[in-house]
Amino acid sequence: MKSRLFGAVGFVAAFFILSSSLSAHAQLGIVESHDPAISFTPTGNSYLNLMVGLRKYFNSFTSWQLPASPGPQNPISRLEYPWDQTFIAIRGSAEYNSLEVNMEWSGTINVISSPKAQDSDWLDARNPNQKTTFSEAEATPRCWTADFSCNMPVPGFPSMRGVIGYRLSQFKFTNTDGFQYGIYDDETDHYGYYSIPLPGPFIEFSQYYKQIYGGGILQSPLDLAEILGGWRFQPLQLRLQADASYVSGNSHDQHLLRNIFGIIRSEGVGWHVNLSAGLNTGRFRFDLEGDLRGIQTSGQIQTPTQYIDGAKAWSEQKYLGINGTIFF
């Protein structure tokens, strides 16, 4: 119920911001020549702005796996969580004397995902490449990211800015009402097909990532009037950000039906690319963006009885977004 209420509030806020942006475009004329007299110009080389956006994720997932100890299977178990969620995003920015500071939060506004969670095992040590167990279940993703960054111009490169930041993310899921299929019983050491229902919630899974990153931002206006010829458009503002990060991760897996758990503490690297195109009109800005990011980490898993090296946790996310920004 809280998720639905938050989602409704988010959509209303996004609607008003984006509607204001579109209204401003209509009043000032997107296809008219640019008039500096009616455009917003920050005073004293400073400004504040607030952005509200919607992001649709696709082909996105987060996963982990662990090796056998002892044993040749690598992996012996893997959990995979794809999702296609819609996120709401809110970002506040401030600039003073060319230093820009950003604070952003985004999170799921719908919890039902069409792709299903998957759990796979390789239990036969004599045949380590043979998948022996597979389960598929509904998942209820609860995901969020928080991003704190600052950027400033690179001397000698007027279109480029350096950026550093700190990014937090959580991916949380509950496997519910699944089915497990298998071809091997590790207790009897015999092959034979079976399937069993897994009613109700049976796995709680969560991943937490912390990233310290650095990179660059390339910004450039694109004069559509020159390209299209005869038509007079506002300049299209292009922005490309690319950054790399050091990542530390903490993943939790709780099998509710068997009362066992695993905790992976891992370290690794991440990468991120964001491309946006926007139009500024008066005090408003309207953007479309695409975003790609990935995380690769490895480390150690803790189980109730032992610690195992060689565990891995990773994630890939892709989204298309629409944003509306108001300047103060």
Instruction: For the beta carbon of residue 62, count every other beta carbon within 10 angstroms.
Output: 27
Structure tokens at 322: 């629409």
Q: What is the mean pLDDT of residues 106-130?
A: 92
Structure tokens at 259: 């009362």
Looking at residue 325, its pLDDT comes to 95
- What is the helix (H) or strand (E) element at residue 295, kind and residue range? strand 284-302
Looking at residue 224, its pLDDT comes to 67
SS3 label, residue 21: helix
Q: What is the mean pLDDT of residues 56-80?
A: 94
SS3 label, residue 38: helix
Question: What average pLDDT is seen over the chain?
Answer: 86
Domains of the chain, earliest start first? 2-327 (2.40.128.90)
Residue 20 banded pLDDT, cuts 50, 70, 90: very low
For 85, phi and psi rounded to 5 degrees? Answer: -75, 160
Whether 172 and 206 have beta carbons less than 8 Å apart is answered as yes
Residue 16 banded pLDDT, cuts 50, 70, 90: very low
The alpha-helical segments, DSSP class H, found in 245-327 are none
The region of weakest confidence among 46-50, 67-71, 93-97, 284-288 is 46-50
| Burial category of 193 from C-beta neighbours within 10 Å (exposed 0-12, middle 13-18, buried 19 and up) | exposed
What tens digit of pLDDT does each residue of 128-178 get?
999 999 999 998 889 999 999 999 999 999 899 999 999 999 999 999 999
Q: How far is CA 191 from CA 9, 87, 130, 133, 299, in A?
A: 53, 44, 12, 11, 32
Angle at 52 between CA 144 and CA 85, to 5 degrees: 40
**Peptide bond just before 201 cis, omega within 30 deg:** no
Structure tokens at 144: 């969020």
Looking at residue 44, its pLDDT comes to 45
The rounded distance, in Å, linking the Cα atoms of 209 and 248 is 6
Looking at residue 274, its pLDDT comes to 98
What tens digit of pLDDT does each residue of 195-245 get?
999 999 999 999 999 999 999 999 998 876 666 665 666 778 999 999 999
Instruction: Read off the amino acid at residue 262.
Output: G
